Amino acid sequence: MTGDPGLWTLTPLASWVLGGAIGLLLLFSRPLLRRIFSERDEKRFRGRLNLFRLACLLALAILAVRALAHPAAGSLWFTRLLGVFLLIYVSYLLFYLASRLILRRYGRERQRDDETVYVETYASRLLTIVAGILIAVVALVAIIRVLGFTSWLEAGGVLGVLGVLFALTQAAWVPDLVSGLVILNSRLAEEGDVVQLDKDKDDLLMVFRTRVFFTEFLHLGSNHRLLIQNSRLRGMTVQNLTRFASAKGLREGVFVKVGYEVTEAQVRALFEQVMAEALADADIPVEEKYEAEIRPVNGGDYGVEWACFYYTKDARALLRTRQLMLGLTLKAAREQGLSLATPLLVHHPVERPESGGAAAGTP
């Protein structure tokens, strides 16, 4: 340390090292605090994280003020880079606060996993994008001024280069951005909805979050996350199982194939036992006030396909409900001695008249 202020003035090398160390602490603040504190309480962890980041930000601001107050050799570019870093981080904080306020004001409350959350709407997403553009433009102009591009020609040249980069890359992100706005505006699939994509009946997904460029799903079958681009999602057939066509709920069915020798009374007795046991089981969310529909749905050479249609309103437990209902059907069939094996087509030989005297008209 040099200069009259003694301990208050740092050499250029010390300023670079200290600024870099604080910048790394700020950049890796989340994984660093995750190793120190538990992340179970999200609100408390986020408060500690914001407090730590604010302390790093104040340290960088003090370092920048010190460099300006006591200039030393080589400290000009250090001060400029530090100012750029502070502008970028302050812009991020402003955008974060603005997006949170917009979400609270124009978003919609919704229950997800017994927790009240604010979900994006078309208005909140659009206002967030506008706020982000305004903050980015102001921050970009301020960064250009801090770096020393004072003339209009120099500033226009920097903005022109950035504009060309945006124009060359717009085909990669604009379709997803616009598609995300369309999805939010149409309310096609909101957070917490259970959907099927295209015609895959066994692939059940829950919409977790609709982001700017992609939509995040939770796969209910294998319990993993799935990301799909918004532009690609718009081209798919989305079946929203949470939006019922009537107050009865979602119409599901158990299907069995039996031979033609099995009577209608036997099939009805089978499904009546299944429904009685399902209604008595608290783990199977079947609607009790709507009577089951037992009907033949398909007939062929080998046998008849019967179905027992029931109603449920718990779309998230749909896979479990299907599996439990099938298990009850197999159990009831064994108890009643009813075979659910695929019937075989029995071929009977047809006798053909022998060629000879009678065919030739011989007496």
What is the pLDDT averaged over residues 169-175?
75
Residues 149 and 15 grouped into a single domain: yes
Q: Using CA atoms, how far apart are residues 14 and 20, in angstroms rounded to an integer?
A: 10
Q: Is 228 found in the same domain as 284?
A: no
Instruction: Please indicate, yes or no, whether residues 285 and 149 belong to a single structural domain of this protein.
Output: no
Same domain, 186 and 109: no
Report how far apart, in Å, the C-alpha atoms of 198 and of each of 102, 203, 232, 331 are.
34, 10, 12, 33
For the stretch 190-220, pLDDT in tens is 888 899 988 766 788 999 888 888 899 998 8
Q: Are 182 and 233 in contact (CB under 8 A)?
A: no
Residues 141 and 36 in one domain: yes
User: pLDDT by residue (tens digit) across 21-54?
Assistant: 777 777 777 777 676 665 556 666 676 677 777 7
| pLDDT given at position 358 | 46
Domain membership of residue 330 (yes or no) is: yes
List beta partners, residue 226: 217
Question: Which pLDDT score, from 0 to 100, does residue 76 have?
Answer: 61
Worst-scoring range by mean pLDDT, 116-120, 215-219, 337-341?
116-120
Residues 162 and 20 in one domain: yes
Domain with residue 310: its CATH number is: 3.30.70.100
- Of 190, 235, 185, nearest to 215 (Cα)? 190
Beta strands in the chain (DSSP E): 108-111, 116-119, 194-197, 204-210, 214-219, 224-229, 238-240, 250-258, 293-299, 304-312
Structural domains counted in the chain: 3
Average pLDDT of span 10-20: 63
Residue pair 122/108 in contact (Cβ under 8 Å)? The answer is no
Mean pLDDT of the 299-322 span: 90
pTM above 0.85, yes or no: no
Q: Is residue 306 part of a domain?
A: yes
Residue type, 332: A
Residue type at 308? Answer: C
Q: Whole domain around residue 297: which residue ranges?
A: 250-336
Only one residue has tokens 């003694």, namely 6
How close are the terminal C-alpha atoms of the chain, in Å? Answer: 135
* 232 assigned to some structural domain: yes
